Amino acid sequence: MKNVVLKSSFIFLIGFLFIFQSHAQIYVSKTTGDNKNKGTKESPVKEIDKAIEISSAGGTIYIAEGTYSSTFGIGYLESDKPLKLYGSYDKAFTKQDIVSHPTVFQPDNESGGKARKALLKFTKDVDGTIVNGILFDMGRRNAFSPKEGL
């Protein structure tokens, strides 16, 4: 009986370590990603919020160039864990350059009707958080209506 318990505990530990290791680095690409992917360099996810969801605390997220607004166009990013977010990578994730390959988080006006939240919010401990190479732009979100004005 002890042997069975030890084997199952060992398998659980190996599985836990695999999950932790597999989510240590997540890759995001607006052009080649799919949110059903695993988030590897070869198989990136499509949206930043999906990467945040599957990443472990302290994980690193690399984001390729493009304009992002989040899954379902909700217009904000929220995390309950500290992360390292690095944007403005080329499509191959080999070079970070905010001028040549900008990563822009830019929700549209429609997302404002769904939620008026900060563009990026950490709801718990942020110790160790890094945000680098991402332009946050609310320029497309405004309250102007062509019929009703402001």
What's the Cα-to-Cα distance from 137 to each of 51, 68, 75, 104, 134, rounded to whole Å? 20, 10, 11, 7, 10
How confident is the model at residue 8, as a pLDDT? 47
State the burial class of residue 85 (Cβ atoms within 10 Å of its Cβ: 0-12, 13-18, 19+): buried
pLDDT along the chain (150 residues), means of 10: 48 44 81 96 96 95 94 85 97 97 87 71 88 87 64
How confident is the model at residue 71, as a pLDDT? 80
Place of tokens 């360099």: 41
* Token pair recorded at residue 94: 């080999």
Amino acid letter, residue 150:
L
How confident is the model at residue 113, as a pLDDT? 62
Per-residue pLDDT tens for 36-56? 999 999 999 999 999 999 999
How confident is the model at residue 17, as a pLDDT? 43
How confident is the model at residue 109, as a pLDDT? 73
pTM equals: 0.77
